[in-house]
């Protein structure tokens, strides 16, 4: 991933994450507030219903207290208590209840003794109040279900002086739809009535059984969250332990869904706007960081190709860290460049010392390596070779005979021509030279010139017998410069050739010993009148000028003849 992309993402992602977390936190807080408001609303509804029920019960009790003092009713109760099996007494009491029910408009009336055992009861059936044959005990308070109908029951005592004769219970038909909120009526944990259409009863029963009868709870139905609250503090229980309870059933998700939709829309537009601003700010921020760094990287890549360390104008950068970076790099580059220049000068001085030490062994070959380097560089310039290739040729020519250090003076300084055995020994100097230099990494670029400058174009050379372009170009250039200096220099056993004789010899061996293309360039250079004018000046060039030339990348324009075989 590109640096610019990474910078942009690292600028944007934290803001996007903060935005997402903020949305989640705000939504959670809002939903929590809605939940609390819903619970409060349910409790208020419950309190309102309880208040209304209390007012109704209080009103009914006031009426019932008057009714319970009815002498006829008391007389009927006393008759039933005297003989419970007397049907006439039972009918008398039932007649009293029918008369009261007709006058007061209740749907259910019953009378029980002091122990709660039923004495008589009537209920509205098929539009008329009728006596009940069942002796099932009726509740004294709360909800009561009989014959598929649910009744709200209120009771008052029937007293005669200080003696309690029994209890009068009256009930009105309970309409769950009038509760004003989604609710269910449960009997022993089973839902017997609901005012919520489409409610999954079996699933609701299973979930509500886990709730306490008198506690508020939260349940999941059909993938939605509901809050359920009992509508009375205590459920009614009869003698058998059964009872009814009304529980509200408010869907929290249904209430919060519109709010969630509004929140999503608000956060969508707000988030898109904030995200757009974040993208813009992140883009500008990342660009301000990446642009100067990219410029530094681009110039460093260019310097990797050219080998020259760049200099940066760090004072123009407004980012303090980037400015410090470029200034530090400039100082480091200056130090490196200075070190490189010193190292180049030291290498040149060392190489010159090696060449001078080698040439000093034989007064007849003094300055040979320096002259070969000068001539080879002139040929390289004429051939249009690159500065890197010219540098390789220049240094390689200075070192080309370094292997002669390993040849004894008896052979190297012999004034006569060498014997075949001695010739074989001296031919080892290219390999010896490579062996001497290959242990130093800085000399590796010049090893081919040192080892292969005696290879011939036709493959008859040594030490490997390479043919044509199998021999590296630098070695082929140094070979012809070496041959030229050898032919034009005096030896103990012969006089040096004239310039024309040497050129004629080179043309003769071109295609056999020499690269014909390089030979042609060489003869064009050294056959010109300019070469004649410069020939004398070459002998006076000292090592200081050569050191300066080697330290520079430009070739040296100093033509001078060289040697083929016995160099």
Asked if residue 331 has a cis previous peptide bond (ω within 30° of 0), the answer is no
Could you tell me whether strands 190-194 and 142-146 are parallel, antiparallel, or unpaired per DSSP bridges? unpaired
Q: What is the Rg, in whole angstroms, of the alpha carbon atoms belonging to the chain?
A: 59
Average pLDDT over the chain, rounded to an integer = 76
559 to 377, 527, 563, 565: CA distances (angstroms): 8, 11, 14, 20
Over range 298-308, report the average pLDDT: 68
Backbone angles phi and psi of 95, in degrees to 5: -60, -40
What is the pLDDT at residue 545?
38
Residue 384 lies in a domain: yes
Confidence of residue 320 (pLDDT cuts 50, 70, 90): low
CATH number at residue 76: 3.30.450.20
Residue 460, token pair as written in the block: 């008859």
Using DSSP's 3-state secondary structure scheme, residue 145 falls into strand
- The answer to whether residue 139 sits within a structural domain is yes
Per the CB < 8 A criterion, the answer to whether 87 and 153 are in contact is no
How does pLDDT run across 196-238, given as a tens digit for each residue? 887 888 888 888 888 876 777 888 888 888 888 776 544 444 4
Per the structure, the complete domain to which residue 397 belongs is given by 340-551
Of 141, 172, 203, the residue that ends a domain is 172
* Coil vs helix vs strand at 85: coil
Structure confidence at residue 82 as a pLDDT band (50, 70, 90): confident
HEC readout, 187-245 = ECCEEEEECCCCCCHHHHHHHHCCCCCCCCEEEEECCEEEEEEECCCCCEECCCCCEEE
Q: Which residue has the tokens 């530090």?
A: 328
Q: Is position 393 within any domain?
A: yes
User: Is 16:272 a contact under the CB 8 Å cutoff?
Assistant: no
Q: What is the mean pLDDT of residues 176-183?
A: 74
Residue 97 DSSP SS3? helix
Total domains in the fold of the chain: 2
At residue 326, does pLDDT exceed 80? no
- Which of 269, 175, 186 has the alpha carbon at shortest distance from 232? 186
What separation in angstroms does the CA of 379 have from each of 137, 348, 387, 476, 544?
131, 21, 13, 11, 21
Residue 518 lies in a domain: yes
Distance CA 198, CA 326 (A): 74
CA distances from 113 to 52, 435, 484 (A): 29, 131, 148
Closest CA to 38 of 223, 254, 194: 254
User: Encoding tokens for residue 372?
Assistant: 């070969």
User: Residue 90 and residue 450: Cα distance in Å, rounded?
Assistant: 141
Distance CA(106)–CA(4), nearest Å, equals 85
**How far is residue 118's CA from residue 153's CA, in Å, rounded to a whole number?**
15
520 found inside a domain: yes
Q: Which pLDDT tens digit goes with each residue over 428-456?
A: 999 998 998 888 888 889 999 999 999 99
- Confidence class for position 353, pLDDT limits 50, 70, 90: confident
Kind of pairing, strands 118-125 and 128-131? antiparallel
* Among 185, 175, 181, CA closest to 251: 181
Supply the pLDDT for residue 262: 82
Instruction: For residue 61, tell me if it sits in a domain.
Output: no
Distance, in Å, from the CA atom of 124 to the CA atom of 109, rounded to the nearest integer, reads: 9
Residue 31: how many other CB atoms lie within 10 Å = 17
CATH of the domain at 459: 1.10.3210.10
- Tell me if 27 is assigned to some domain: no
Preceding peptide of 463 cis, ω within 30°: yes
In angstroms, what CA-CA distances link 338 with 307, 334, 549?
Answer: 14, 6, 18
Asked if residue 540 has pLDDT above 80, the reply is: no
| Cα(437)–Cα(361) distance, integer angstroms | 20
| Residue 567 confidence class, pLDDT cut points 50, 70, 90 | very low
Q: pLDDT category, 63, cuts 50, 70, 90? A: confident
Q: Max alpha carbon distance in the chain (Å)?
A: 173
Neighbours of 196 (CB within 10 A): 17
Number of other residues whose CB lies within 10 A of the CB of residue 380 = 28
Segment 413-433 shows an average pLDDT of 86
Nearest to 220 by CA among 231, 233, 230, 211: 211
DSSP 491: B
Does pTM surpass 0.75? no
In a domain, 358, yes or no: yes
pLDDT value of residue 327: 76
User: What count of Cα atoms within 13 Å lies in the side-chain half-sphere of residue 441?
Assistant: 0
H or E segment to which residue 430 belongs: helix 429-437
pLDDT: which is higher, 429 or 293: 429
């Amino acid at each position: 991933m590109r640096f610019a992309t990474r910078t942009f993402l690292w600028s944007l992602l934290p803001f996007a994450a903060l935005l997402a977390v903020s949305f989640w936190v705000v939504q959670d807080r809002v939903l929590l507030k809605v939940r609390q408001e819903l619970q409060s609303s349910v409790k208020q509804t419950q309190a309102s219903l309880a208040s209304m029920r209390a007012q109704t019960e209080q009103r009914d009790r006031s009426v019932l207290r008057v009714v319970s003092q009815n002498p006829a009713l008391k007389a009927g109760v006393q008759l039933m208590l005297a003989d419970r099996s007397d049907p006439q007494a039972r009918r008398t009491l039932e007649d009293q209840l029918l008369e009261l029910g007709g006058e007061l408009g209740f749907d259910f009336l019953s009378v029980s003794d002091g122990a709660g055992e039923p004495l008589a009861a009537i209920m509205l059936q098929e539009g008329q109040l009728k006596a009940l044959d069942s002796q099932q005990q009726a509740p004294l308070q709360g909800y009561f279900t009989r014959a598929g109908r649910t009744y709200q029951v209120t009771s008052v005592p029937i007293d005669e002086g200080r003696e309690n004769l029994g209890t009068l219970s009256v009930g009105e038909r309970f309409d769950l739809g009038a509760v004003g909120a989604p609710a269910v009526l449960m009997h022993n944990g089973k839902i017997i009535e609901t005012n919520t259409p489409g409610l999954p009863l079996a699933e609701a029963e299973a979930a509500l059984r886990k709730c306490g009868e008198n506690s508020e709870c939260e349940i999941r139905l059909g993938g939605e969250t509901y809050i359920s609250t009992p509508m009375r503090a205590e459920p009614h229980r009869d003698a058998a332990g059964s009872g009814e309870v009304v529980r509200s059933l408010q869907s929290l998700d249904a209430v919060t869904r519109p709010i969630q939709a509004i929140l999503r829309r608000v956060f969508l537009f707000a988030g898109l706007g904030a995200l757009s601003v974040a993208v813009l700010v992140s883009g500008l921020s990342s660009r301000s960081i990446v642009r100067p760094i990219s410029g530094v990287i681009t110039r460093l890549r260019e310097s990797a190709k050219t080998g020259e360390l760049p200099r940066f104008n760090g004072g123009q950068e407004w980012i303090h860290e980037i400015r410090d970076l470029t200034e530090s790099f400039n100082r480091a580059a200056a130090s490196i460049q200075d070190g490189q220049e010193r190292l180049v000068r030291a290498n040149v001085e060392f190489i010159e010392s090696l060449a001078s030490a080698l040439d000093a062994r034989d007064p007849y070959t003094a300055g040979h390596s320096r002259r070969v380097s000068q001539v080879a560089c002139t040929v390289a310039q004429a051939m249009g070779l690159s500065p890197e290739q010219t540098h390789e040729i220049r240094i390689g020519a200075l070192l080309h005979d370094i292997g002669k250090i390993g040849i004894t003076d008896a052979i190297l300084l012999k004034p006569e021509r060498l014997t075949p055995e001695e010739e074989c020994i001296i031919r080892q100097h290219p390999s010896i030279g490579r062996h001497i230099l290959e242990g130093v990494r800085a000399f590796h670029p010049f090893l081919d010139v040192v080892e292969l400058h005696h290879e011939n174009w036709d493959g008859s050379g040594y030490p490997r017998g390479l043919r044509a372009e199998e021999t590296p170009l630098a070695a082929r250039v140094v070979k012809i410069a070496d041959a030229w200096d050898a032919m034009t220099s005096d030896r103990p056993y012969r006089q040096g050739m004239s310039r024309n004789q040497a050129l004629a010899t080179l043309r003769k061996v071109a295609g056999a010993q020499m690269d014909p293309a390089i030979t042609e360039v060489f003869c064009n250079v050294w056959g010109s009148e300019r070469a004649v004018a410069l020939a004398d000046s070459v002998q006076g060039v000292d090592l200081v000028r050569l050191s300066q030339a080697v330290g520079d990348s430009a070739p040296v324009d100093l033509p001078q003849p060289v040697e083929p075989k016995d160099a």
